Amino acid sequence: MSKDRRVAVTGLGVRSAAGTTPEALWKALLEPRPAAAAIRSFDASALPVDVACEIPGFDPAGYLTPKQVARTDRSVQFALCAATDAVRDAGGLAAVPERRAVVTGTAYGGVLTQEEGIGRPRALYVPKMMSNAGAFWITTEHGIGGPSLTISTACASGGHAVGEGMQLIRAGSADVVVAGGHEASLTPTNLLAFCRAGTLATGFADPAGASRPFDAGRRGFVLAEGAAFVVLERLEAARARGARIYAELTGYGRNSDAYHLTSPHPEGAGARACMELALADASVAAQEVVHVNAHGTGTELNDLAEARAITAVFGAGAVPVTAPKAVTGHAIGAAGALEAVIAALSVAEGLAPPTANLAQLDPRCELDLVSGAPRKLPAGPVISNSFAFGGHNACLVLAPVQR
- Among residues 160, 182, 291, 330, which one is catalytic? 330
8 Å CB contact between 17 and 55: yes
Asked if 155 is an active-site residue, the reply is yes
8 Å CB contact between 9 and 252: no
- Among residues 53, 81, 142, 155, which one is catalytic? 155
Sign of CA dihedral 273, 275, 279, 284: negative
Residue 347 Ramachandran class (φ > 0 left, ψ -120 to 50 alpha, else beta): alpha
Asked if 265 is an active-site residue, the reply is no
Asked if 274 is an active-site residue, the reply is no
- Among residues 142, 182, 291, 295, which one is catalytic? 295
Give helix then strand counts, H and E, for the chain.
Answer: 13, 15
Q: Can you tell me the distance from the alpha carbon of 257 to that of 396, in angstroms, rounded to the nearest whole number?
A: 17
What are phi and psi for residue 6, nearest 5 degrees?
-75, 150
**Pick from 330, 322, 337: which is nearest to 54 by CA?**
330
Residues classed as catalytic = 155, 295, 330
